[in-house]
Amino acid sequence: MALQHFYSRVPAKVSMFNRADGFDTFACSDLLNEETVTANLSCVYNAKPGKDEVSLIREEKIPPVYFHFEGKDGSFIQSCMSFLKLDYTGERTSYLVHSLIMDKQEENTVLYSPDNDILNPDLFVHNLDGFDITSFESTADDKYPTLDYKAKKSSGTAKFVEEYDQDMIKRLIYATLSIACGKGKSVYISLCNDISQCSQKTLEFMNTFMQIFPYHIRTKLPFVTYTSDFQRYPDFKVKGILDSFSDIPTSKGIVLHFNQKISLGLLDELVMGEKFIVDFFYETLCNDQLRREFLCYVQSVYEKMPELSKTTMKNLRELVLLFCQCSGLYNEKLVLPNDDSVHEFVCVYDKYRFALSEEFRANAMVCLKRFPLAHAQIPSKTFSKITKMYPTETVASKKIIMASMLDLIHTDAMRAKLFNFLKANYAEEPDITKHLISENLCRVYYGGFLRPQILEFFGEIFAQEHDENKDMIFEKILLTIRTDAIRTQILEFIDKYYDTLSSEQKNKLFLTFAEVAVDGSQLSEEFALLMNKHIENDENSRQNFSELFCNAIEKEQKRKEHPMLNLICSGRYPYLYGILCQKVFGDWQTRAIFEKFVAAIYKNGISNGINNAVKILSSVEGLSDEAVNRILDLTLAQLETEKSRLKLPQLVGVEDSVLTLGRDFYGTEKIITAIYPLVVNKICDALFIENGLDVLNKYTENHPEIINEDLYIPIKNYYLTEKCLKDKKIDEFFKVAFSYTDNKVLDAVYKLLKKNRTDVSSYDDVEPVFAIESLQIIFSDNFDFLGAYDAIKSDVSAIALSKSDEDDDLTVSKKTIDIMLRVLNCLIGLTPEDKKEEIALKIKYFSSVVNEFKTTNKKNAEKWISDKLKSEYRSFDSDLLSVFSSSDKSSSSSWISKIFKK
């Protein structure tokens, strides 16, 4: 209900506040006191008519003037000023101001309806006939009844558009919006030059024009339907004037003469700067559906975002932009013509989205569909914004966003970014969306894009997926298992989820294995390892797999090559091998695959093959005698074929495997007998392999007769040299060593001596040290005699110092030379005839050693060496000595030649 207030010239007895003859409130509804009236209504009733209007009032030419405004306390007020030819005295002109102060209900009736006029003139009192203010009994009435506000149905905007110029209306739209934003000047509307019609036409104009504005803006557009003085009613922003009123400074306001189509005080560029919203509001005048939907939309947003009550051009533009895109009433390309406009829209949407209806939010995201249609990537800034918003979007909005993302991921635009988007949001999606994501990712994966990333993602979600999704994912994974780049990743996936697979999925897996195994590839090997691991523990699937597996092996026999058979017989897949063994040596004993199988187990080495053959002979039940003999024959044939490549440990190991069958098995002796000559031929190998002698000794325990073989003599000599070395019998050591005819055996002795070098702990122990190097002189062209001397000297020094601090450099040098002379003596005396010339050429390097000795010991060197030769080394071969002495012609070493010639 609206509170009512009446103000006019009255006698003192009905004057409510002044208590004197004159203008004052004389009637009002309860709750209105002087302070409230003064604060909210004085802007209307204090604006008295001018002197030039008194005569017009007496002639009753000025019709009622209407006011629409918001009071200081925020109340919504409408007033009507009616001009009275005579006041209560009958002598003077007067006016009556009737105001309606509405409560929220009335305010909603007026402001929030798209169908009602803003102001209904029929509700106002225009004269004092209903008030007997001159009666002796009359008093001021402060209990005047409230009014049930009855809104008036609007006549619509169609006629309005036809009647008034489009450009002028657009200018008015801009001007009034500027006012609503708190920045515009007052606007003066001139619709006619007839004072009797001016107020009414302005009221009709404003009632229609105000229909296009959102409800919260209507209170920000206070208007008065007529004024003849631009300084009057300063609080009112829209004022009706006559055409002839031309005294308004443009600095004070904008004047719009609709009849003459003249605009004053408004720059064209300002209007054009806001063309987007000006054109939109004008369109609402022409389209009633558009107007209604826009008003409802803005009101809904305003209720959820009360901060919009502070109207700005910016938020008006944003509201209009949102509506144009989200209402579905506009062609999107016109609203959002390019990528920049899309980004701007998305930013605006993010600001208002929680205030929008679900339908509007869904429509907003339709703009993303343009990118997959154009196979173009979503701009980074826009995509980033969408990514942040997505988790808090509505279900309908998410569907549209997700559909766009899934469409776009099938293009070359931005697969990696889109995949990350899908991955980040997957967990929170409903099942139906998860299915769509998985389905589309399967297509992308199968198409060859982002395979490692998608496969990793599938590895994370597979356990939680529904059966339909699992089937779809697993099928695509199996179809791409031959892709080398993701082979390992796929096998890891299968390994991880094998136990969760359905029987149907396992059947597909088994069939895929059967297809892959025949390739004989790296994948075949790795896949076989995986199946070998899981089938052994999968009782439910074991029988089914075995049948599929054996059928595949049987089918492979029709091919020229048999990679699957060779693969399984390689020894790396014991369980799969066991399945095949039972089949081959059971139902298939009489088939050609029997020989192929036995041949296949030898392809990865005779040792491995015989071990497998032994296991077959010892563990497979139901083998016929014929089958056993065939296995033995193939084994013996394989031994003969491979004998040149077999190593001693392999042969001994083969015998050990055969012996597991027991001596009673008639095939044991046949194989052992075949192995013996092969071992004899490899006896010397024991000297060159790690633990070789231990292997040979083990074999000798079962075959003591082998020590009588000629090829065993080097082994005996080796043990003898080892004993000589241990007993420090150097001369005997050399005699034995030079009895070897096989250079490889000599190398073995050399290694033995090299090993013992670390055990030097006394002067005598140094002899074998140099003996090692001396043996190499015979066969090495690059022997560094001087280097050997330095090494021996270093060892001798260390030994000498460890024994006595009195040994000096001379003592050490003498000991070193003594050792070298002793070794030379052994070498010269024991060198075979065919090696003497070679030795002679080597011995010449000894001169450099002796020269060094003489240089550091001038006085004693010659005599000491000479005495040594005469007393201890008289057996030097004369031919060798002559070669030695003649090889040294330099003056610095001539004394050496003389010594040896003597």
DSSP string computed for 135-147: STT---EEEEPPB
Share of the chain above pLDDT 70, in %: 81
Bridge-based pairing state of the strands 3-10 and 94-102:
antiparallel
Dist CA 284 CA 213 (whole Å):
9
pLDDT at 124: 97
Higher pLDDT, 300 or 601: 300
Q: In what order do the strands lie in the sheet with 141-144?
A: 141-144, 22-29, 3-10, 94-102, 76-84, 65-70, 223-224, 238-242, 186-192, 253-257, 262-264
Place of tokens 């004998």: 643
- The token duo for 507 is 């059947």
| Lowest mean pLDDT across 292-296, 730-734, 792-796 | 792-796
**Cβ atoms of residues 150 and 279 within 8 Å:** no
Bridge-based pairing state of the strands 76-84 and 94-102:
antiparallel
Share of the chain above pLDDT 90, in %: 54
pLDDT at 887: 45
pLDDT tens digit sequence for 637-646? 888 887 878 8
- Is residue 845's pLDDT more than 60? no
pLDDT tens digit sequence for 43-67? 999 888 888 888 999 999 999 999 9
Taking phi over 0 as left and psi of -120 to 50 as alpha, with beta for the rest, 623 belongs to beta
pLDDT at 815: 66
pLDDT, the chain, mean: 84
What single DSSP character describes residue 48? Answer: P
pLDDT at 155: 87
In Å, how far are 90, 141, 181, 791, 836 from 35, measured between CA atoms? 31, 17, 29, 122, 142
| Lowest mean pLDDT across 139-148, 303-312, 428-437 | 303-312
In Å, how far are 56, 432, 443, 483, 506 from 439, measured between CA atoms? 83, 11, 7, 20, 21
Where do the DSSP E strands lie in 145-212?
Answer: 186-192
CA dihedral 761, 765, 769, 775 (to 10 degrees): -160
What are the residue ranges of helices labelled H in 220-373?
A: 268-273, 275-286, 288-304, 313-326, 332-335, 339-352, 358-364, 370-373
pLDDT tens digit sequence for 254-271? 999 999 999 999 999 999
pTM, whole model, 2 decimals? Answer: 0.66
pLDDT at 776: 46
- Is residue 889's pLDDT more than 80? no
pLDDT at 775: 47
- Is residue 162's pLDDT more than 80? yes
Residues 829, 830, 834, 836, CA torsion sign: negative
**Exposed e or buried b for every residue in 863-892, given b needs 16+ CB within 10 A?**
ebbeebbeeeeeebbeebbebbbebbeeee
- Is residue 789's pLDDT more than 60? no
- Is residue 826's pLDDT more than 70? no
**Cβ atoms of residues 28 and 5 within 8 Å:** yes
- The token duo for 536 is 């052994």
Dist CA 148 CA 154 (whole Å):
19
pLDDT tens digit sequence for 94-121? 999 999 999 888 888 788 888 899 999 9
pLDDT at 675: 87
pLDDT tens digit sequence for 685-704? 888 888 888 999 999 998 99
- Is residue 616's pLDDT more than 50? yes
pLDDT at 712: 87
- Is residue 782's pLDDT more than 50? no
pLDDT tens digit sequence for 172-192? 999 999 999 988 899 999 999
Task: Determine the average pLDDT of the residues in 738-757.
Answer: 58
Task: Determine the average pLDDT of the residues in 535-560.
Answer: 91
CA dihedral 329, 331, 332, 335 (to 10 degrees): -90
The neighbouring-strand residues paired with 6 are 27, 98
pLDDT at 388: 97
pLDDT at 335: 93
pLDDT at 791: 55
Per-position DSSP letters for 167-180, written without gaps between them: HHHHHHHHHHHHHH
**Cβ atoms of residues 536 and 573 within 8 Å:** no
pLDDT at 779: 40
pLDDT at 806: 46
pLDDT at 738: 54
Taking phi over 0 as left and psi of -120 to 50 as alpha, with beta for the rest, 622 belongs to left
Residues 365, 370, 373, 374, CA torsion sign: negative
pLDDT at 836: 59
pLDDT tens digit sequence for 349-358? 999 999 999 9
- The token duo for 744 is 């490889």
pLDDT at 795: 56
What single DSSP character describes residue 49? Answer: P
pLDDT at 51: 80
| Lowest mean pLDDT across 20-24, 329-333, 861-865 | 861-865
- Is residue 609's pLDDT more than 50? yes
Taking phi over 0 as left and psi of -120 to 50 as alpha, with beta for the rest, 194 belongs to beta
pLDDT tens digit sequence for 482-521? 999 999 999 999 999 999 999 999 999 999 999 998 888 9
The neighbouring-strand residues paired with 188 are 239, 255
Surface-to-core class of residue 331, CB atoms within 10 Å of its CB (0-12 exposed, 13-18 middle, 19+ buried): exposed
Task: Determine the average pLDDT of the residues in 411-422.
Answer: 93
Residues 26, 31, 37, 40, CA torsion sign: negative
pLDDT at 831: 55
pLDDT at 298: 94
Dist CA 553 CA 543 (whole Å):
15
Higher pLDDT, 842 or 163: 163
Q: Which of 447, 508, 441, 503 is nearest to 474 (CA)?
A: 508
Higher pLDDT, 99 or 651: 99
pLDDT band at 892 (very low <50, low <70, confident <90, very high): very low
Task: Determine the average pLDDT of the residues in 400-404.
Answer: 96
- Is residue 447's pLDDT more than 90? yes
In Å, how far are 35, 71, 78, 196 from 38, measured between CA atoms? 5, 10, 15, 30
Dist CA 139 CA 143 (whole Å):
11
- Is residue 773's pLDDT more than 50? no
pLDDT at 731: 59
pLDDT band at 170 (very low <50, low <70, confident <90, very high): very high
Task: Determine the average pLDDT of the residues in 714-718.
Answer: 81
pLDDT at 732: 67
The neighbouring-strand residues paired with 254 are 187
Helix, strand, or coil here: 896?
helix
pLDDT at 30: 92
Host H or E run for residue 151: none
pLDDT at 127: 94
pLDDT tens digit sequence for 318-338? 999 999 999 989 999 999 999
pLDDT at 765: 45
pLDDT band at 848 (very low <50, low <70, confident <90, very high): low
